[in-house]
Amino acid sequence: MSEEKLIPVFIPALVAILVNAEDKKASPLTYEQVIKIRDAASVIMLEKSHADALAESRGYDDIDPENCWYDWQMCRRDMGRKPDLDPGAKITISNSNDASMQQAFADARQSLPHFRKLIHGNTDEEFFPLIKTKFVLASGNMFVWLRVVESNETGFTGELFEVPAELRDHEIGDTFNIEDAAIIDWMINHDGTMHGGYTIRAHRATLDAVEQAKLDTHLGISRYL
């Protein structure tokens, strides 16, 4: 009997379901609609080799359900769908022992006053401020991006906008009060301009020019401030 790990596969592909839903709506799907469609979609469990074969036969990789909103916006961007919406950020796990990452953490915390000024000085509905913090799990530490819903002089209230499998005890929309000392990073990607994102910059610095360009395109970033 095969011991290969089983992974969830959407049938039909989740990206196809979302395209169909957005075409019927004739306007961009909201975050809540995308998550609702994902949660109602049909899923089968396949061994990774079979899932890879299915993706090859389709000619494309499907959306990652744990980063559904982010990946859907990347797909919309690749398909040229308008208006272009802010995808937020992928949930990531970083090497916190790396010296450049430690410096990124320190730079992020030191620049929190600037982050607050950006938040309080902007009323654009598409303004999407994020903070990154550490969740301590039995399986290890996970660094997760949260959407900022409130801020004060000593910390922020952030909410989950994607729920990875490792956080199965939480739900989308769960909020957390995060003190400044627990902030790993912050970022705002506004109209292609990246504010903050120090861990992203640290990772980008390890890439060659071609890979940097690919990352910038993937994130929808045209310049870093």
Give dist(CA 6, CA 8) in Å, integer: 7
User: Residue 158: left (phi > 0), alpha (psi -120 to 50), or beta?
Assistant: beta
Average pLDDT score over the chain: 84
CB 110 within 8 A of CB 164: no
Residue 94 — very low, low, confident or very high, per pLDDT cuts 50/70/90? Answer: very low
Stretch 76-84: mean pLDDT: 86
Query: How do strand 193-196 and strand 6-10 relate by DSSP bridges?
Result: unpaired
H-run or E-run covering 156: strand 155-159
Give dist(CA 70, CA 182) in Å, integer: 24
Query: How do strand 155-159 and strand 140-151 relate by DSSP bridges?
Result: antiparallel
Give dist(CA 17, CA 19) in Å, integer: 6
For the segment 178-190, what is each residue's pLDDT rounded down to a tens digit? 999 999 999 998 8
pLDDT of residue 95: 52
pLDDT of residue 15: 92
